[in-house]
Chains A and B, each alone.
Chain A
Amino acid sequence: MNKWAEDWFEFKGWTSYPFQRNTWKAIAGGYSGLLNAPTGCGKTYAIWFGVLADHQKRYEGKKKASGLHCLWITPLRALSKEILNATTTVSEDLDLPYRIGLRTGDTPAAERARQKRQWPEALVTTPESVHIMMSQKGYADAFRNLQFVIIDEWHELLGTKRGVLVELALSMLKRINPALKIWGISATIGNIDEARNILLGMEHPHATMIRANIQKKTLIETVLPDTLEKFPWAGHLGIRLAGKILPIIDASRSTLIFTNTRSQAEIWYQHLLQVHPDLAGVMALHHGSLGEEIRQWVEEALHQGILKAVVCTSSLDLGVDFRPVDTVIQVGSAKGVARFLQRAGRSGHHPGATSRIYFVPTHSLEIMEGSALRYAAKHQMIESRLPYIRSFDVLIQFMVTLAVSDGFRADELFEQITQTHCYASVTREEFDECLLMITRGGRMLEAYDEFHKVVVEDGLYKVIDRRIAMRHRLSIGAIVSDVMMQVKFLGGKYLGSIEEWFISRLQPGDNFWFAGRNLELIRVKDMQAIVKASNKKKGVVPSWMGGRLPLSSYLTGALRHKLNEAQQGVADRELDFLKPLFEEQKRRSYLPGEQELLIEKIWTKEGCHLFVYPFEGKFVHEGMAAIIAYRLGRIRPFSFSMAMNDYGFELLSDQDIPVEDALLQELFSTDNLSADIAGSINTTEMARRKFRDIAGIAGLVFQGYPGKQVKARHLQANSGLFFKVFQDYDPNNLLLREAYEEVYDFQLEIVRMRQAFERISTHEVILKQPEQLTPFAFPIFAEVFREKFSNESLEDRMNKIKAQLEQEDSKHGDRTGKRRR
């Protein structure tokens, strides 16, 4: 048994869970593995005492420090702090000589230097920081005695390119010490076995899986409005329900209010204060763009139970238990069952406590999701996380990282990376192409070329240019963001950061909402927006990009099931409430069941709209819309504007869209699907958007030195330009191909889309031609974000637009051509 654990648990007056004891035993037996446990049940200690025991066994009685013994990798800086505190407490309580250091992007240079002089026994860190350590000379020395790597919240990292960073770092650490033990901690996901195999590597001899099996009861309740809006408009309803959640906040000790975007969080915070001024002082705002100091204050206050409510985003999804929190409110769709349940789990931490979550729909149709979520939770429909494979952008970044520090040899590195799940299928030719990109800047070598990012000396790949090395270290990581501007008060107090493009639209003297305050812009200087507090009630709310996840396939499945129940008249709280909306849909058009696909063709003054409702989630709809547009475009040249939400999609054209029965069959046919998918991707912007992140990770787009933006000015170009140049001059480039592959896997969700086409091919197609927009159509019609498709010539499109503008001119005298609602 684990002596220290027993002492300490007794000292704390706690009893250990079986899963904790099993983990201690497995670690003592030299196993690696995955611990499947929810947040807030002592998973940290399950691992930690195993690590401590190993250290004692190895070094007891020895005077010399062991050097780095354990790396604890977390996805969030906030979580790193939490782990640091938890583990340091153990060392202090038991008076152990085991020191724990923190190393994240915030760690000051002096502290990093001190760590390097004498490494602590453990470092709590992030995937990016480990890569930055590997870009320092002599990194292998630091990791020489490393025995453990712990990956916390692995389910959060898996399915992102940060997960690929972890895979690469582990491959290197395993090469330095082949006997390295790896432990992952993960919440329940659909592909938990795969998650373990990816983490531990293809063939790990000594691996196990430990499940905590702690069942938690979750209560899900939908907050219903007083009256039903029959024409739902995304985002319209939510804020009206603010009054409805006040009693919930009042009745709870401490409530977390989750929103899906940062701007939504700002709006809700503002609005709640307005309708309930008493909340001032006991309500706070927490999201990823706020400064560290503010966020830490909020987290601390939550711990102490001072706060009645916190409006937050995914920034509070993970880790960190706030014991006083007993209620969670989810504003808008959580998009997935796992995410919804994880958020629910942020309340009720005591063993045996019930998690309580209220779902606040943001438009009428979303009300149905409450019912679907209950159904999905009951049937344990927990989503999988799709891992990235063949991410050449991350590989190229890693190659340069190694070249910056001690250099690498091609054969060794190839062998090493092909052991990982991500790069297992990479061929030597592809690997060599990556090498060519960093050594020659591409496949061609021409006279007078001055490209020399990485040079080869006696077979060793190295960076010798110090500026290139410095620029690379500054851009290590797999999160690509827009250029950010710091928001500061005149006195210098830092509030947080906002995308530059938002600030650039403001004039000095303009007001905006940020960090829950009304701020007046005073001036912009050196990437800093200087502001002062204002008492005005008006101001714009910054909108941040991102946060456009699609509904998961489980949730859409549950939703279709619920819709079918609605058609059958099955009683259910949410469905009953929505009855008038369904009646209106039926009156104007049709209410489809599970075996039917509804298509509506509607004319408005904007043109001819085709609305299709597969209920398959936004991304699949985006792909379907592109394919249908592509197939229609083969009949004659068309230009479409396409919009989609999680329920359906719309094709809008300035000319009639033909929809005879025979044709409809063809449009949704599974024949030639692959070829048509390929064809349709080329005509849309999807790959171009994916390329944005790839260009950032691979080091094409450089965001400038912190505080020295001007120096790099001549090196700035947006990824769109790179995308175009690559398409024109190097169409077979690996990075370009990667963009297309990512569109297939993550944007179109190709497997899911194929299934959707197959499902639909068995359905009866119901075509309606309503006079007016229907309740189903309206929210899609109101979508602002639109994808484009055109196979008309530029000249034809231009001439048409020009003719239309001239017509408009004579009618309205307005030349902007903007649509009016």
Chain B
Amino acid sequence: MEIVLGNAVVELLSQRALFLPQDRILVIADLHLGKGMHFRKAGIFMPRDSGDRDYAVLHELMQRYRPRQVWFLGDLFHSAHNSDWLLFEAFILTYPDVRFVLIRGNHDILAPEHYAALSLDVVPERLELDDLVFSHEPLEHVAPGKINVAGHIHPGCLLRGLGRQSVRLPCFYLYEQVFLLPAFGALTGLYMMERTKRASIFAILPGRIVLL
């Protein structure tokens, strides 16, 4: 689904990512890669291949949209270094012509050399592109006329209907000047957002986005 954010046309992808067609930038938040292995390292038996789907979707996005840049909006890797980093390395090396940028999130605690070895540019807090300001955690103050694109929250929405039916879905969430991206990683949960009139909620269904 295409929407206008600030002055830019952006595409909301049902793979839980954002695409900026004009600059060919793919924006992905809260991947939490390596989470399964982090648990396993601590002796908690998370199934071994629980993170595979994430890479499959990443490759699919790369091939379909052929971005020039990929911006990770924080929480790229779940915690301390573990062997799953090798999988991420393999992913990055598949796309030598793409520039990868990480806006550091609260989970991104790896030593700088790990990022440097992959030529992954690390930005401490924010990146600006025209009217859009990208960050991991939503900014407290957004300059007038700007829109803050952020992650961190893992937004989800709860829909209720007749017959006391309800559905929980991940979503994009626009409230005033903040636009929240859904968490990308399969091993992440949802934080239920409030449904107020002033917020626009873009719920994610398999294969499509619906504005509520």
Known A-B contacts A654-B162, A714-B79, A801-B161; the reply to A468 vs B195 at CB < 8 A is no
Which chain A residue has the least Cβ–Cβ distance from B106?
A713
Q: Chain A residues with Cβ under 8 A from B78's Cβ?
A: 714
From B39, B50, B159, B187, A801 is in contact (CB under 8 Å) with B159
Q: Are A442 and B159 in contact (CB under 8 A)?
A: no
User: How many A residues, CB 8 Å from partner?
Assistant: 60
| Residue pair A449, B48 in contact (C-beta under 8 Å) | yes
Q: Which residues from A are CB-within-8-Å of B189?
A: 717-718, 720-721
Complex contact B167–A795 (CB within 8 A): no
**Contacting residues, chain A, for B163 (C-beta < 8 A):** 606-608, 639-641, 652-655
Q: Using a CB-CB cutoff of 8 Å, which residues 394-431 of chain A contact chain B?
A: none
A800 at the interface (CB under 8 A from B): yes
Q: Is B160 interfacial (CB-CB < 8 Å)?
A: yes
B164 proximity list for chain A (CB < 8 A) = 606, 641, 652, 786, 819
Q: Determine which of A452, A653, A802, A818 lies in contact with B210 in the assembled complex, contact meaning CB atoms within 8 Å.
A: A802
Point out the residues of chain A lying under 8 angstroms from B203, CB to CB: 798
List residues 704-754 of chain A with CB under 8 A from any CB of chain B: 714-715, 717-718, 720-722, 725-726, 728-730, 733
The answer to whether B45 touches A700, judged by C-beta atoms less than 8 angstroms apart, is: yes
Q: Does A702 contact B (CB under 8 A)?
A: yes
Chain B contacts for A818, CB-based, 8 A: 160
What 0/1 readout, one digit per residue, does chain A (780-796) give for beta carbons within 8 Å of chain B? 00000010101000110
B40-67 interface code vs A (CB 8 A; 1 in, 0 out) = 1111111111100000000000000000
The reply to whether A441 and B161 form a contact with Cβ atoms under 8 Å apart is: no
A452 to B48, CA, bound (A): 13
* Chain A residues with CB below 8 A from B116, complex form: none
Report the minimum CB–CB distance from B136 to chain A (whole Å). Answer: 16
B167 to A729, Cβ gap below 8 A?
no
* Beta-carbon contact of A451 and B43 below 8 Å: yes
Instruction: Give complex CA distance A665, B84 in Å.
Output: 56
- Let me know if A717 and B162 touch, CB within 8 A: no
B49 nearest CB neighbor, chain A only: A729
A817-B163 Cα distance, complex, nearest whole Å = 11
Q: Is the CB of A729 within 8 A of B47?
A: yes
Cβ-neighbour of B159 out of A438, A654, A798 (below 8 A): A798
Q: Which residues of A contact B196 (CB under 8 A)?
A: 815
Quick one: which of B40, B107, B163 has the most chain A CB within 10 A?
B163
Q: Check if A810 is an interface residue, CB within 8 A of chain B.
A: no
Is the CB–CB distance between A654 and B161 below 8 Å? yes
* A816 beta carbon closer than 8 Å to chain B: yes
- Complex Cα gap A715–B39 (Å): 6
A441 and B38 contact, CB distance less than 8 A: no
Q: Are A726 and B47 in contact (CB under 8 A)?
A: yes
Complex Cα gap A492–B189 (Å): 35
CB of A448 within 8 A of CB of B86, answer yes
Q: Is the CB of B50 within 8 A of A729?
A: yes
B47/A442 in contact, CB under 8 A? yes
* 8 A-B residue pairs with CB within 8 Å: A438-B45, A453-B43, A607-B162, A641-B163, A788-B165, A800-B161, A800-B162, A817-B161
16 new A-B contacts, CB < 8 A, other than A729-B48, A795-B205, are A437-B45, A454-B43, A465-B43, A639-B163, A641-B165, A654-B161, A700-B44, A714-B78, A715-B39, A715-B44, A725-B187, A794-B167, A797-B167, A800-B161, A815-B197, A817-B160
Q: Which residues of chain B have a CB within 8 Å of any CB of chain A?
A: 35-50, 78-80, 82-84, 86, 107, 159-167, 169, 187, 189, 195-197, 203, 205-206, 210, 212
Shortest beta-carbon contacts, A-B, top 6: A453-B43, A801-B161, A654-B163, A729-B47, A448-B83, A607-B163
